[in-house]
Structure 1
Amino acid sequence: MQCVVLSGKPINEPIEQYALPICVVLSGKPINEPIEQYGPFVMTTRSELQQTIRDYQDGKNGFENAATWNSSIAELAYQ
């Protein structure tokens, strides 16, 4: 499995990419905020999370084309 892990202080070195990563792991300083997560959705409160899911289901607030959208990156990863 290919994986990219980003964490820590920058080392100011160039990064070369020869293949698409299968996963990406990001790390940073904690912001001491609550987290609510459901599937791919992550918000800070349960009510925000529920509203985001409703927006997704209704195709509102940035999700207008979600039902028909296809990832070209995902297609490349499985070639």
Structure 2
Amino acid sequence: MKTTLRRLSAGMATVVAATAVAVILLPGMASAQTISRIYSYTTKGATQCRAEANVAGPGYYCTTTTIAGTKYYALAY
């Protein structure tokens, strides 16, 4: 019984941690955008983002996002 309870507790801790990471990485629901990839907030990062947005096709664009206080370029849909 104790082993089962420990496993359940560990499983729940993993789910809570994964959900917390997802909430931090994904934009808010009001924005209705999906971040596909992030790039460094440099000229090189901006160039890579624009190039991949052009290759990805219609609906993809580059934007900026802040994750844990650090700014990034992001390929979004």
Question: What band does the TM-score fall into relative to the shorter chain?
Answer: under 0.3
Choose between structure 1 and 2 for higher RCO, CA contacts under 8 A separated by at least 6 residues: 2
Which one has the bigger strand percentage? 2
Which one has the bigger helix percentage? 2
> Which of the pair has more CA radius of gyration?
2
- Normalised to the residue count of structure 1, the TM-score between the two structures is 0.25
- Normalised to the residue count of structure 2, the TM-score between the two structures is 0.25
